[in-house]
């Protein structure tokens, strides 16, 4: 079902371009008109001042829910705002139906501040496996698309993550240690060591894109919401990169991962980051 949808059948092209058009349309209709135009009543705190939702988040997710399920009948949507309203929605990740995983505005704080570093994330999955993803930064006019087994592109040009130069200091974006458990905080602080230049992350989707482009060496995150990671993890791996949780097992979008986890430009770089995380956790 998903293969036919993505790759097409005899006489019919795949639908990846139609999904891209749907993502662009949602941003054009609901996000960009509110960029630097948000009224105070359109911004609401969810769990706290670092967890915001805006009218653009809610309306773009509603727009995408309608358009994506129309493109693939029988599919369902697991969106950040829908799950906030009803946590049971998340259970669809383990069901039989194809699932659209949607983060309508990844980097909401940046969006609220009027900065361009935010994006819309969409991934298509089934039975916990991610088949395709779309990462769209509307202000930057960048769209990255990944299809499992078929590579990744940025604005139509193939992406290759490459490898850091031998002996180079690794540039790594990480979760802020203050917003985590004590054990995960110790692990993340292990990145503040010689040979690694670690900084707090911005939009997770754009951090993954930087890794896929080779502009950044890796990321290390301590939370596992699928809407933040499904699109980016496929993007990095299809660009030639590598990903792993602290236990050495691949990250599972359905949850239950040994955190933190990393995605990096290549397997060796992922190994260096994991070694630093493990050392930090033991300290």
Instruction: Give me the pLDDT at residue 1, please.
Output: 77
Instruction: Give me the pLDDT at residue 180, please.
Output: 74
Instruction: Give me the pLDDT at residue 14, please.
Output: 77
Instruction: Give me the pLDDT at residue 8, please.
Output: 75
Determine the average pLDDT of the residues in 237-257: 97
Position 270 pLDDT exceeds 90: yes
Position 47 pLDDT exceeds 80: no
More confident site: 183 or 114: 114
Q: Over the chain, what is the mean pLDDT?
A: 92
pLDDT in tens, 72-122: 999 999 999 999 999 999 999 999 999 999 999 999 889 999 999 999 999
Position 48 pLDDT exceeds 60: no
Q: What H or E segment, with its residue span, contains residue 66?
A: helix 55-71
CA distance 172 to 207: 9
Determine the average pLDDT of the residues in 193-214: 96
CB distance 71 to 98 below 8 Å: no
Which of 2-6, 34-38, 124-128: highest mean pLDDT?
124-128
CA distance 229 to 103: 10
CA distance 60 to 23: 9
Q: What is the pTM of this model?
A: 0.94
Percent of the chain with pLDDT over 70: 93
CA distance 260 to 174: 9
Instruction: Give me the pLDDT at residue 182, please.
Output: 82
Determine the average pLDDT of the residues in 239-262: 96
């Amino acid at each position: 079902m998903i293969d036919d949808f993505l790759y097409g059948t005899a006489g019919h092209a795949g639908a990846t371009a139609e999904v891209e058009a749907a993502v662009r349309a949602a941003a054009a209709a609901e996000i960009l008109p509110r960029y630097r135009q948000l009224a105070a009543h359109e911004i609401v705190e969810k769990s706290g001042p670092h967890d915001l939702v805006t009218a653009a988040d809610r309306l773009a997710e509603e727009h995408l829910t309608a358009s994506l399920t129309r493109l693939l009948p029988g599919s369902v949507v697991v969106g950040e705002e829908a799950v906030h309203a009803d946590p049971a929605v998340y259970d669809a990740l383990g069901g039989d139906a194809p699932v659209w995983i949607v983060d309508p505005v990844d980097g909401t704080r940046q969006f609220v501040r009027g900065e361009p570093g935010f994006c819309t994330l969409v991934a298509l999955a089934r039975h916990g496996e991610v088949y395709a993803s779309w990462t769209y930064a509307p202000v930057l006019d960048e769209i990255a698309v990944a299809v499992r087994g078929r590579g990744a592109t940025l604005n139509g040009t193939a992406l290759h993550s490459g490898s850091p130069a031998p002996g180079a200091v690794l540039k790594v974006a990480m979760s802020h240690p203050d917003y985590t458990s004590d054990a995960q905080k110790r692990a993340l602080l292990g990145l503040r060591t010689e040979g690694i230049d670690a900084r707090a992350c911005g939009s997770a989707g754009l951090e993954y894109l930087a890794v896929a482009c080779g502009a950044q060496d890796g990321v290390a995150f301590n939370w596992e919401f699928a809407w933040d990671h499904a699109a980016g993890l496929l993007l990095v791996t299809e660009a030639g990169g590598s990903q792993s949780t602290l236990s050495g097992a691949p990250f599972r979008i359905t949850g239950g991962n040994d955190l933190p986890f990393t995605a990096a430009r290549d397997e060796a770089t992922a190994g260096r980051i994991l070694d630093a995380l493990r050392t930090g956790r033991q300290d």
